[in-house]
Chains A and B, each alone.
Chain A
Amino acid sequence: MTAARIRRNPAVHEEAVDEALFLIDEAADAIYHLDALAAALWRILDAEPGLDEVVAVFADAFPEVEPMTVAADVVRAVESLCSSGLAIAARPAQGR
C-alpha cells in the first residue's frame, strides 16, 4: 500500500451534520459515523495522497507521539477505510 495513492470511493456520499461527519455507502446499504481523527483522514483523502503523505500530515499534527506509532495508527485507519469500501488504494499508472 506504501506506493499506492489513497482516494475516497466516489460512490460514498459525505454528510456533515454540525461537527459530526457521516458517510453513506448506498451500494453497501450502510451508514458510517467518523470520529474526529477518521474525519480528518477522510478530508485528507480528498487530495488523493500517498500513504507517506498521510502519515506526514498526522506526524506533524501529533509531534508528541512517536513517529512509528503515528505511522502504525494511520496504516490501520487507512486499511479500515479501504476494507469497509469507503476508500480505495490505487497504484499510480506506469510512468506517472
Chain B
Amino acid sequence: MARARVDMALAQARLDEAPAGQIRLALAGIRRPVALDAGFAETVARVLARWPQAPADDHPQAPVITVRRGRGGFYLYSPWTHPPRRYRDPVDAACALVADLARAWADDNRDALCLHAAASRFGDGLVVFPSHYRAGKSVLAVALAAGGRPLVTDDVLAVDGAGHGIALGVSPRLRLPLPAGEEALANFAAAHAGPGSRRYLYLDLDPRLQLAHGGALPVRALVVLERDRHPALVPMPLGEMLRRMILRNFARELEARVTFDRLRRLAARAPGYVLRYRRLSSAMALLAEAFGP
C-alpha cells in the first residue's frame, strides 16, 4: 500500500511539472489550469472556439486535467477519468477532454445546474432540448444554426439560479456518418467542417451562429425529442418533464432539495413539449411555428 502511494505521488508530481512540449491554459470559469500536449492544443483551440483561454504556464496550481502525448496516442488524466484513458485520435481525446471540462466547470460553479441538453436561441430566450445520448439533439441544434438560429450548446447547458441557460462555448459535434437524406445539414457541415475523426466532426461556427462562453438567456421552453413518422409538437406533463430534467442533470454539487426545487421552478416556468419528427425540416417548421422567428 505504501509503495502504491509513493508511486501515485510520483505520478502526480510528474503531472504537476510542465514537461517540454506541454502548455498550460486557463479557461474561463475553471479555477485550475489544464495542461495539454502542444500539438494537441491546436485541436482544442478550435473545439473550444467560444470558451476564452489564456496561457497559464506560471499558474500556481496544479492542472485539473492533463492530456499528454504518449505511446500510441493521447492520455487523459483527470479526477473524473479513472483510470487514465488513451485515445489514438486527437479528436476523440478532445471529446473526452470536453466532457471532463464540463465537470470541472460544474465543480467550480457550484451554484449552477448542468444539464445534458442542446439549446438554441429563439428570439430573446432559449429552447432547450434535454435529451439523452444519441437522441439527435446535436443534429437538430446544428440544423437550427444552419437555419440562422444561434446555437447555445449541443450537449451541456449550465443553468443558473434565475433559470437562465448559460453557454460554455464548446463547438458543436456531429456523430458520423451524418443522417441520410439530410442534404442541407450535410452541406452546412461540409462548409463549416472543423476537427474530425472517424467517429465525430466538430464544426467551426461563425460567432453570430454560436453564443460565446458565459452568454446567458432565459429558458423559454423545454422540448424532448422523439423520432416518429408523424410530426407533432405536443405538451408534456410537468411531472414527466421534471423527471427527465432530473435525469439529465449531472451537477452533483447542489443539495438534492435545492436541485429539485430549482428544476421544478424551471419546468413550471418554461412549458414542456415532446417534439415528434423524422425529417429535420418538419422539426424546424414545428419549432418556428411554436416559438417564432
Contacts and interface: CB of A to CB of B under 8 A. Distances in A.
B39 interface: no
Given A17-B242, A17-B264, A33-B246, A26 B256 contact: yes
Given A20-B243, A26-B255, A29-B255, A15 B260 contact: yes
Interface SS majority for chain A: strand
Interface string B228-272: 000000000111101100100000000111011000100000000
B209 to A, nearest CB: 36
B239 A31 contact: no
A30 interface: yes
B256 A20 contact: no
Nearest to B243: A33
B259 A31 contact: yes
Given A17-B242, A31-B246, A33-B246, A22 B237 contact: no
Nearest to A27: B256
Contacts of A28: 256
Most B CB atoms within 10 A — which of A22, A25, A30?
A22
B256 A29 contact: yes
In this complex, the interface size class of chain B, counting residues with CB under 8 Å from chain A, is: 10 to 19
Of the candidates A13, A17, A20, the one having the most CB atoms from chain B within 10 angstroms of its own CB is A17
A44 interface: no
A30 B238 CA distance: 20
A28 B257 CA distance: 11
B256 A17 contact: no
Contacts of A22: 242-243, 246, 260
CB-CB nearest 4 A-B residue pairs: A20-B239, A18-B239, A17-B239, A29-B256
Given A20-B238, A28-B256, 5 more contacts: A20-B239, A24-B257, A29-B255, A31-B246, A33-B246
7 contacts: A17-B238, A18-B239, A22-B242, A24-B256, A29-B256, A30-B256, A31-B246
